[in-house]
Amino acid sequence: MLTQTTIQLLAASLAMAPLATARDVPANVRNFYKTVVGQGQCPNRLATGFTAKDGGPSNFSYCQDSSKVIYIQGTNGRLADMDIDCDGRQGGPADDKRCGKSTDTQSITSFADTVRGYNKGIQDLDANIHPYVVFGNSGSKAGYKTFDPKAHGIQPLSVMAVVCGDKLIYGIWGDENGDDGPRAMVGEASISLATACYGKSITGNNGHDETDVLYIAFPGPEAVPGANGANWAATSYDAFEKSIQAKGDQLIQRLGGSGGGGSPTTPTCSWTGHCLGDKCKNENDCDQDWTCKNGVCA
């Protein structure tokens, strides 16, 4: 039988235990966020002309900083919002019916084939379990704005960082924006990720409207957990997010204290993969994990 003292100690221990849904934003990531907001709009736009809200301005861009990470920003310091995505597996073990309010749910995500290929007993991502980000824009309509993150080194199912509600959440690049609307949209995440940010008031049709969410994508194969680097068959958001925490903690070290605003500069090769794709004259110009082939680090 537990004594009152034991119960109090257990309660205190649980209160102090870190929760996957409430991770504090590290200083370097907070500085990156502040610098991005403070710059007003990004100086190095890879693609622009996107919108965060129906009827809103089409002045949001995919941006790249000096460390090659990619993020979304509008003008006047605005970032992205967070609409809710419920695509993928339906009726799974974590489904609490909040996705049922969505009017545009699709039964498949962009990288379902890769998920199946991992052979972990699941056929696709589950929005109620996997904290995925909808990133990139595809479409074939005439004049429709598109952006392919893969062209800039971002790989499917790679780990991403999301700063939302004064929290840092790790997710994966799990889906893309299609051309099913009149204009190309940005700023969307799975309901499990959005719930970790803003609580259970989130539903399939009720997201976060403020443009203060920072989505950060990391280039290079080292950002991909692969079949055995994440708990793809998890039955809860907490279990999956915990499985990619170490990878996320590693990746955010790329975000220097000076933030991410400026144009690309000559890399210092201070972290693994920094020189991937950069020009080189010899092996000394590349990080130790890359070799100089035909004038580029690969």
Q: Token digits for 108?
A: 């498949």
Is the model's pLDDT at 261 over the cut of 60?
no
**What are the φ/ψ torsions at residue 235 (nearest 5 degrees)?**
-110, 5
Selected residue with higher pLDDT from 53 and 273: 53
pLDDT at 104: 66
Provide the whole-model pTM. 0.80
**Amino acid letter at 234?**
A
Is the model's pLDDT at 265 over the cut of 60?
no
pLDDT at 106: 75
Is the model's pLDDT at 290 over the cut of 80?
no
pLDDT at 229: 97
pLDDT at 244: 97
Selected residue with higher pLDDT from 2 and 107: 107
Distance CA 107, CA 104 (A): 10
pLDDT at 120: 97
pLDDT at 143: 87
pLDDT at 22: 54
Mean pLDDT of 229-253: 97
Kindly indicate the confidence band of residue 198, based on its pLDDT and cuts at 50, 70 and 90.
Answer: very high
Distance CA 143, CA 129 (A): 35
Is the model's pLDDT at 287 over the cut of 60?
no
Residue 200: exposure state from Cβ atoms within 10 A (0-12, 13-18, ≥19) = exposed
Cβ-contact 42, 63 below 8 angstroms:
yes
Give tens-digit pLDDT for 177-186. 998 888 999 9
Give tens-digit pLDDT for 126-166. 999 999 999 999 999 988 999 999 999 999 999 999 999 99
Is the model's pLDDT at 35 over the cut of 80?
yes
pLDDT at 272: 35
